[in-house]
Amino acid sequence: MFKLKLHWQIIIGLILGLIYGLIAANNGWGPFTAAWIAPLGTIFINLLKLIAVPLVLSSLITGVASLSDLKKLSRIGGKTIAIYVGTTAVAVTIGLISVNIIQPGDRVPDQMKEKLQKTYEKDAIIKSGSAQNIKDRGPLQPVVDMVPNNFFSSASSNRNMLQVVFVAIFVGIGLIQIPKDKGKPVLDFFEGLNDVVIKLVDLIMLMAPIGVFALIAHTINKVAGDNPSQIMELLGALGYYMFAVIIGLIAHAAITYTGLLKTMTKMPLNVFYRGIAPAQLLAFSTSSSGATLPVTMECCEDELGVSEEVSSFVLPLGATINMDGTALYQAVAAVFIAQTLGMGLDLGAQLTIILTAVLASIGTAAVPGAGIIMLVIILEAVGIPSEGIALILGVDRILDMMRTVINITGDSSVAVIVASSEDQLNIPT
């Protein structure tokens, strides 16, 4: 029987969701959409989140346990982190170039500035409060946070993915060091669990077109409310700012990822982009690299030929610490807010932005809207009033969808690069 490829099914779901969302917003169907359509999207995201911890745990434990020596693990780890940090710094720089050329802050009409500040004042205060909690922590707190004192409490929240990664590596190392016959039942169990979870990803993806339809319809519903003319006004006022972010994101994918893939691997670009399309579409619809993780892993392994050993280490780590799209957006947003408020930023301030954006993106959670909370920390580092985020809150969700796509594209590119350098890339023919 003729069956449409998954990414086409998802694209159709996305377009239909968009059409339905616009019709619903124009006809005031908000309550109906929230009550009857949105829950389908929530179920879909919940299913993806449900399998993220068992997937990371089982695939990473089996991956690490299959390593013959631990030197390899530290080599893969070192490379991965170095490329992650390097590409993020490039992303921020591209963002700064884009915003300095386009100068979107000088193009917002004065009365609109006031209106935005007023409308989003309350939301801005809430976000600043969340950022303050993060800021009050000590410098080593992120490292401390990686080491859980109880495994079940770390496995109980997807936000603790780094803790799960830590436990999996730790258990994997323990497994290598005990006699093979003792470790075998444990390893067999995790291998079996891994197979089950991978099957579950396939089953969940059967629902992807409907889930994506519901998610997009609901997002439009939330962004536009029942007053679509308001969103048009916002898009008009913040159009140049959005353009600066989007063009930066596209440039980063086209220059940085393409360049690295071309020079460091034999991966044909069409195979790469076709292979990760389902994950990109999902990242766009969910705005969450965390929720997309199971699908990113499956695409990298099945469609791009990255070994499980590499993907199970590089991708969960990337979903939590590697956010090129977010870092780029934070740089553009910080400069945009400064420009709008009439503050000039000298070279020193822009360099501070590069450094803090790289660090802030590492600390950003892989969930919708996390990037703007960490943006507050960057603003404070360069002396821009954090209430300024009120200016950009109205269009943040749209940009969140786009930056999340780049976040997972970055993770996947690095997985391919690391796999290729370890001779663990088996490009499908």
Binding site for ligand ASP (CB under 6 A): 287-289, 323, 326, 364, 366-371, 400, 403-404, 407
In terms of Cβ atoms closer than 10 Å to its own Cβ (0-12, 13-18, 19+), residue 254 is exposed
- Looking at the Cβ atoms of 76 and 362, the one nearer to ligand ASP is 362
Q: How far is the CB of 408 from ligand ASP (least distance, A)?
A: 7
Look at the alpha carbons of 272, 95, 407, 8 in this order and tell me if their dihedral is positive or negative: negative
Q: How far is the CB of 18 from ligand ASP (least distance, A)?
A: 19
User: Phi and psi dihedrals of 425, rounded to 5?
Assistant: -120, 120
- Looking at the Cβ atoms of 307 and 407, the one nearer to ligand ASP is 407
Q: How far is the CB of 36 from ligand ASP (least distance, A)?
A: 26
Q: How far is the CB of 293 from ligand ASP (least distance, A)?
A: 10
Q: How far is the CB of 397 from ligand ASP (least distance, A)?
A: 10
Number of Cβ within a 10 Å radius of residue 269: 11
Contacts within 8 Å (CB) and 24+ apart, 340-348 = 340/105, 340/108, 340/113, 340/388, 340/391, 341/105, 341/384, 341/385, 341/388, 343/384, 345/382
Q: How many Cα atoms within 13 Å fall on the side-chain side of residue 378? A: 38
What is the spatial distance between Cα 133 and Cα 148, in angstroms, rounded to a whole number?
A: 20
The residues, ordered by sequence, that sit 6+ positions from 342 with a Cβ below 8 Å of its Cβ are: none
Place of tokens 């590697």: 322
- Looking at the Cβ atoms of 357 and 391, the one nearer to ligand ASP is 357
- Looking at the Cβ atoms of 63 and 248, the one nearer to ligand ASP is 248
Q: What is the DSSP string of 233-261?
A: HHHHHTHHHHHHHHHHHHHIIIIIIHHHH
Nearest in space to 116 (alpha carbons), one of 22, 8, 235, 240:
235
The residues, ordered by sequence, that sit 6+ positions from 186 with a Cβ below 8 Å of its Cβ are: 175
Structure tokens at 411: 């993770």
Q: How far is the CB of 357 from ligand ASP (least distance, A)?
A: 11
Q: How far is the CB of 400 from ligand ASP (least distance, A)?
A: 5
- Looking at the Cβ atoms of 278 and 368, the one nearer to ligand ASP is 368
- Looking at the Cβ atoms of 364 and 386, the one nearer to ligand ASP is 364
Q: What HEC string does 169-207 produce?
A: HHHHHHHHHCCHHHHHHHHHHHHHHHHHHHHHHHHHHHC
Q: How far is the CB of 280 from ligand ASP (least distance, A)?
A: 12
Q: How far is the CB of 385 from ligand ASP (least distance, A)?
A: 21
Q: How far is the CB of 50 from ligand ASP (least distance, A)?
A: 17
Length of the chain: 429
- Looking at the Cβ atoms of 366 and 377, the one nearer to ligand ASP is 366
- Looking at the Cβ atoms of 280 and 326, the one nearer to ligand ASP is 326
Place of tokens 């596209």: 250
Structure tokens at 317: 């780590």
The residues, ordered by sequence, that sit 6+ positions from 161 with a Cβ below 8 Å of its Cβ are: 52, 53, 56, 290, 293, 316, 319, 320, 366
| Residue whose beta carbon is closest to ligand ASP | 371
Structure tokens at 372: 């703007």
- Looking at the Cβ atoms of 13 and 290, the one nearer to ligand ASP is 290
- Looking at the Cβ atoms of 148 and 369, the one nearer to ligand ASP is 369
